[in-house]
Amino acid sequence: METFLSQLIFGLQRGTIYALIALGYTMVYGVVRLINFAYGEVFMIGAFVSFFLVNAVSLPQPILVVLALLIPMITCSLLGLAMDALAYRPLRQKPRLAALITAIGVSFFLSNFVSYSSGETVRSSALAAFIIAGLLLLYVLGVKYLNFPVKATPNFKPVKFVIPIVSLLLVGGIFWVSRDLLVELRWKGSSFASYPVERLIAIEKIPLYKTVYITNIQIMNFAVSVVLMVVLSYLVNRTMTGMAMRASKNNKDAVALMGVNVNRVISITFIIGTALAGAAGVLSAVTYPRLTAFMGVQPGLKAFIAAVLGGIGSIEGAMLGGIIMGVAEQFAIGLLPSSYGPARIDFTPLADGVAFAILIVVLLLRPQGIFGEPPQEKL
Amino acid sequence: MKPTTSTILGLIAFYALVMVTSALGVMNDYILRVINLMMINIILGVSLNLINGYTGLFSVGHAGFMIVGGYVAGFMTTLLFGITKDTPYMEALPLFLVSILAAALVSALVGFLIGLPVLRLTDDYLAIVTIGFGEIIRVIFNFITFKKKVGNWELDVGGPRGLLGIPPLSNFTVIFLFTLFTVVFIRNFVFSRHGRACIAIRENEVAAHMMGIPITRYKVLAFVLGSTFAGIGGALLAHFIQLLHPTMGGFMKSVEYLIIVYLGGMGSISGTIVAAVALTGLSELLRPIGELRMVLYGALLVVLMLKQPGGLMGQREFPFLLPERERKIYAAQNR
């Protein structure tokens, strides 16, 4: 009973993290039918931004806690906006496969970029980001005021370049500010950075029932996720933007005819999804303080499976799917024997596969997921 | 297909050139290794192109099939037959060929088992299931760590450490012949009635269904063929780099083969060959910049989809790969 309860608590905690990432997947999929594989990487970047911030700034603890959550969320939503504007928007009218491949490319790019910009190369990466941002800026100014290239098309909009330039500057700035830290840490390859939780909050165990404990970090975790999910529900169900979002899910063309800027709705969806993934990254880093450049790949895939399990496109589904997934995985870790039989077989590595086993079962039995509607073939 | 004389002469010339220069010591081992790796990548790329390019499925688990083949063959040669690197080559070769055959069969079986339920799903779901499959393979090979005596051999494929000490049996001749076999087989498949059925499914599934093409059967056929050749490629790769590691079956490795296919062009064997050669060569040339090339690969995939969605070759083929009739049309156009 005690084991069950404490495993349940750990499972719920794991589950809320999956649920937060899964929300991003499911919202974007609902509106644009795109699996944005890069959410796992957004998650990782959220964790790292928070890591830099907490290491670099010394502020009173309560302010630091709030900042350590908010700044990564803002950074990640900018990143999401940039991703959408640069990689996905140009492909919106193209076959869906092209966008899917692009998403894999973005994911590959981000994780390897972070992996590369560690250790001694961080200075050059920061400089490279600054230089590219500068060149873009020069290009924009040149086209705008100097008729720089021969072909200055009339629909040239400098606004389109604001997001990439700002995000590049931001990334470069973060690298530059934390360069000494990064060079010192050298979390390259197999090594990793460990998140300084003690600077945020002192870990306390609160007894619940006999030997069952809940830590204050877990409570914070639950509180943050619940608040975020409530805010999200309000946003989607009670505001005009949310209404536009839900309507775009049904029929994008009709929504556009109603005078809604669909591209803006999609951008907002990306912003919300990536901000949630960033928050999940911070929560995960606080709980499992081991950061690597590839830490996002597995949670990203598992969160996607959670979204499929709940019914992709459905927000309640993503929340429920994430929680089921987290609990199932935690129970697998807790219950699989670590040395079984005379051969002392260690079964725990199999826990990693539970998510994928769930996926295959779901797709065979109920491909539309728990809350999803069966797809309709249209000719 | 009836190959032209010049194609055959070209192949013989290429083979002779490599053999002579490496025997004379003009070409060093490093370049020979790169050429071998290029050919293995051609096998894996062309087989993935059959699935993703010609049939229009979206499999992201190619490395999973590859590593299944690799583990089967590596297990057989290393543990079952007990071949070491001191075994005389002529003694080891038949056993190696048997192992490759077994690897192909097991990969085909796994492909069939995965494909049959999953290919009824649409593209997104197929992508995620194949990713999941690759991850399950990784988890399983991570898990099998225990040593167990069955009869007179030990079951031990190394777990997270990987399978080490695989004998270096893949030499240039073996890899060359298998690459040739793969390319010819898939090319003949693609230009056959069955290949046209696959292309029809890619172009419009509903219309193909209306024409009486059994959709699921052809999807499974293409998927199984692709995974069979992935298994062969994996077996050759395992005996070439002499090491197998569970992470080689994962998402990251699969993406590398995806890049080969999409850079070359979906539905173009020639494109895949060009891309496999170019990317393998490029990643050797870019070795000094280390990890940055992975960053570039990711960016390459994005830029490719934005600027040149058809890849380098689109759906065009080198004339020598085309059937005779189309080759004549091609020649007439270029006169």
How confident is the model over A313-371, as pLDDT tens digits? 888 889 999 999 999 988 888 877 766 666 666 677 777 788 888 887 887 788 778 88
CA–CA dist A164, A86 (Å, integer): 8
Interior/surface letters B28-59, b for 16+ CB within 10 angstroms, e for the rest = eeeebebbbbbbbbbbbbbbbbbbbbbbbbbb
Place of tokens 């229009």: B56
Is residue B137 within 8 A of residue B131, CB to CB? The reply is no
Contact A112 B135 (CB under 8 A): no
C-alpha closest to that of B257 among B113, B112, B49:
B49
Substitution target in B215, B254, B304, B305 with the highest count of A β-carbons within 10 Å is B305
User: A213: part of which helix (H) or strand (E)?
Assistant: strand A212-215
Substitution target in A101, A110, A297 with the highest count of B β-carbons within 10 Å is A101
Query: How high is the pLDDT of residue B213?
Result: 92
Q: Is residue A122's pLDDT more than 80?
A: no
pLDDT band at A118 (very low <50, low <70, confident <90, very high): low
Contact A349 B160 (CB under 8 A): yes
B133 touching A (Cβ < 8 Å): yes
Is residue B40 within 8 A of residue B236, CB to CB? The reply is yes
Contact B132 A301 (CB under 8 A): yes
Place of tokens 């073996």: B174
Please give the class, per CATH, of domain A2-118+187-365: mainly alpha
pLDDT band at A191 (very low <50, low <70, confident <90, very high): low
Which chain A residue shows the shortest CA-CA distance from B57?
A97
Rg (alpha carbons) of chain B, rounded to whole number = 20
Place of tokens 């005819």: A257
A337 touching B (Cβ < 8 Å): no
DSSP state, A203? Answer: -
Record the tokens describing residue B287, joined without a space. 């070795």
Q: Which A positions 11-30 lie with beta carbon below 8 A of chain B?
A: 29
B257 touching A (Cβ < 8 Å): no
CA dist list (Å): B91 to A158, A239, B77, B96, B153: 69, 75, 12, 9, 20
User: B302: part of which helix (H) or strand (E)?
Assistant: helix B292-307
Q: Which B positions 270-299 lie with beta carbon below 8 A of chain A?
A: 290-292, 294-295, 297-299
Å from A143 to nearest chain B CA?
Answer: 21
DSSP state, B76? Answer: I
Nearest by CB to residue B291, choosing from A109, A110, A116, is A116
Give the residue ranges of chain B where pLDDT is below 70. 1-3, 123, 145-158, 289-291, 334-335
Which chain B residue shows the shortest CA-CA distance from A109?
B298
Distance of CA A325 to the CA centre of its chain: 17
Chain A residues touching residue B306 (CB < 8 angstroms): 87, 90-91, 102
Query: How high is the pLDDT of residue B292?
Result: 72
Place of tokens 């050797």: B284
A213 touching B (Cβ < 8 Å): no
B309 touching A (Cβ < 8 Å): yes
C-alpha closest to that of B184 among B278, B321, B313:
B321
Query: How high is the pLDDT of residue B40?
Result: 94
Å from B143 to nearest chain A CA?
Answer: 6
User: Which segments of chain A does DSSP mark as H helices, in order?
Assistant: 2-32, 39-56, 61-83, 96-116, 122-146, 162-177, 179-185, 197-200, 216-238, 240-250, 252-257, 262-287, 297-310, 315-335, 354-365
Contact A106 B142 (CB under 8 A): no
Å from A225 to nearest chain B CA?
Answer: 26
Å from B319 to nearest chain A CA?
Answer: 27
Is residue B154 within 8 A of residue B258, CB to CB? The reply is no
Contact B302 A356 (CB under 8 A): no
DSSP state, B282? Answer: H
Q: Which B positions 212-231 lie with beta carbon below 8 A of chain A?
A: none
Query: How high is the pLDDT of residue A190?
Result: 42
ipTM of the complex: 0.78
Which string of DSSP letters, residue by residue, matches B241-265? Answer: H-EE-GGGGSHHHHHHHHHHHHHH-
Å from A102 to nearest chain B CA?
Answer: 5
Contact A377 B128 (CB under 8 A): no
Record the tokens describing residue A78, joined without a space. 């900018």
Which chain B residue shows the shortest CA-CA distance from A37?
B128
User: B210: part of which helix (H) or strand (E)?
Assistant: helix B205-210
Å from A204 to nearest chain B CA?
Answer: 34
Contact A104 B60 (CB under 8 A): yes
Which chain B residue shows the shortest CA-CA distance from A352?
B139
- B236 class by beta-carbon count within 10 Å (0-12 exposed, 13-18 middle, 19+ buried): buried
Helix, strand, or coil here: B22? helix
Chain A residues touching residue B145 (CB < 8 angstroms): 346
End-to-end CA distance of chain A: 54
pLDDT tens column, A267-298: 899 999 999 999 999 999 888 888 888 888 88
pLDDT tens column, A2-56: 788 888 888 999 999 999 999 988 888 888 888 888 899 999 989 988 887 887 7
Record the tokens describing residue A320, joined without a space. 């429920």
pLDDT band at A188 (very low <50, low <70, confident <90, very high): very low
What one-letter code names the amino acid at B84? T
Query: How high is the pLDDT of residue B140?
Result: 83
CA dist list (Å): B239 to B4, B89, B163: 33, 13, 11
pTM of the model: 0.82
Chain B residues touching residue A44 (CB < 8 angstroms): none
Substitution target in A35, A88, A91, A104 with the highest count of B β-carbons within 10 Å is A104
Interior/surface letters A154-186, b for 16+ CB within 10 angstroms, e for the rest = eeeeeeebbbbbebbbbbbebbbebbeebeebe
The residue ranking higher by pLDDT, A86 or A338, is: A86
Which chain B residue shows the shortest CA-CA distance from A93?
B306
Lowest mean pLDDT among A145-149, A304-308, B202-206: A145-149
Substitution target in A36, A107, A356, A364 with the highest count of B β-carbons within 10 Å is A356
